Amino acid sequence: MALDKPYKDIPGTIIFDAEQARKGYHLNQFCMSLMKPENRERYLADRRAYLDEWPLNDAQKQGVLDLDLNACMREGGNIYFLAKIGATHGLSFQQMAGSMTGLSEAAYRDMMVGGGRRPEGVRLKDQDGWTPPEVGQPAQALRPDAPARYTSAVFTSHVPAIGSAMDFGKTEEPYWKKVFSGYEWSRQWMSQNTPDVIILVYNDHATAFDSSIIPTFVLGTGAYYPVADEGYGPRPVPDVEGFPELAAHIAQSVIMDDFDLTLVNEMVVDHGLTVPLSLLFGDVEAWPCRVIPLAVNVVQYPVPSGRRCYELGKAIRRALDKWDGEPLDVQIWGTGGMSHQLQGPRAGLINAEWDNAYLDLLIADPVGLTAWPHLDYVDEAGSEGIELVDWLIARGAMDDQFGGGSPEVRHRFYHVPASNTAVGHLVLSNPSD
Ligand code: DHB
Ligand code: FE
């Protein structure tokens, strides 16, 4: 079930999508480097030498050397990026655009002055055999035997002190033993049920994203994510291997499903992502599977609602359902929470009744849970309890939300405290697993 890309057939046009972006990643980043005067100077002084500093393929390098923008476009370049090359050579946008048409500069200018290129004959709809695309509704049922199987969901708090307890060998201390006892079953189960890839939903804690940019939903489409230094030095845990092909597929499907994501190829990952990995996999030399990070903004209001997160989960499952690549065992993890407040005179707030009601509804009635407003999370579970919206993404993607059977509750754990936080942990499996 290939993704719908009707724009690929528009005559004389290359649409820059995630696939092209991946192909042209270094070419476009090379173009961006030309925004600095000192780089433009070095490039113009010895173009070949400057290009050789970048991991470009031969066709990309030759395209730049020839100022052949069509060739650069075919190799994944995007015109807004490529324009930095033209600008460096003193070319106007009209000269750049004209250079791709086969017309002389004068003929192109005259065409524009004469009203521009007429659309008749150069549209998709003017091509032989064209039929208008069907406007479908988002799928509400799952494809049987889809190669990417969402087997289980894992939900857990991601308190930084849990990571420190592991990193500094304190797991046997009575305070921490009580926390880690809740993960013994899961670690054992995980060793038998290691997925190929985890879509790991978490919230960045002013680590990869600061006040200069506040993206609501960030999907990691990169190949590799270094462990962040959050101020204490990086945790001594492995860096994270991504899954660019699957992430680009998910991005394409989810955005075409009217869900706007921010796509990030390079970012560091903080405790929100690494502590859950440590909890479930223990101390390892390398994480045993690939990870697609999905970061939700809960730092600066407005943050997405539980309903929006649930709907994003559904869109992600529709994307998995359309994957036609290698067979994959996929888990989706929801992390953060449960109740905690890290700020102000109300710091230390814990609401065990509310947390357990949340767990009950997450298991049995996630749609009912989506009716809970933001105010409830913050008022009842503390200002940082809002992290729990992350969990609804993993839950919205499960089989029963597409007419399948209810998930099996494999494991449930609740404990107060770890640092300032109530620790909640659930493992739910789809019945197909
Ligand atoms: C704590 C919990 C968190 O989820 C977090 O992001 C930072 C700190 C805590 O309990 O100390
Ligand atoms: Fe947190």
Of all protein residues, whose CA lies closest to atom 1 belonging to ligand 1? Answer: 159
Question: Which atom of ligand 1 lies closest to the CA of 418?
Answer: 10
202 alpha carbon to ligand 2 midpoint, in Å? 8
pLDDT of residue 6: 82
CA distance 39 to 53: 12
Q: Supply angle C-alpha 175, 418, 421, rounded to 5.
A: 155
pLDDT of residue 4: 75
Q: At a CB cut-off of 8 Å and minimum separation 6, what does 287 contact?
A: 238, 240, 241, 277, 281
Active-site annotation, residues? 271, 340
156 alpha carbon to ligand 2 midpoint, in Å? 11
Ligand number nearest CA of 295 is 2
400 alpha carbon to ligand 2 midpoint, in Å? 28
CA distance 35 to 321: 41
Ligand number nearest CA of 161 is 1
Taking every pair of C-alpha atoms in the chain, what is the biggest distance, in angstroms? 82
Nearest CA among 221, 185, 199 for reference residue 149: 199
Provide the residue-wise pLDDT of the chain in tens; the chain has 433 residues.
557 788 888 999 999 998 899 899 999 999 999 999 999 999 999 999 999 999 999 999 999 999 999 999 999 999 999 999 999 999 999 999 999 999 999 999 999 999 999 999 999 999 998 888 777 788 889 998 999 999 999 999 999 999 999 999 999 999 999 999 999 999 999 999 999 999 999 999 999 999 999 999 999 999 999 999 999 999 999 999 999 999 999 999 999 999 999 999 999 999 999 999 999 999 999 999 999 999 999 999 999 999 999 999 999 999 999 999 999 999 999 999 999 999 999 999 999 999 999 999 999 999 999 999 999 999 999 999 999 999 999 999 999 999 999 999 999 999 999 999 999 999 999 997 5
CA distance 187 to 182: 10
Burial of 329 (0-12, 13-18, 19+ CB in 10 A): middle
pLDDT of residue 135: 77
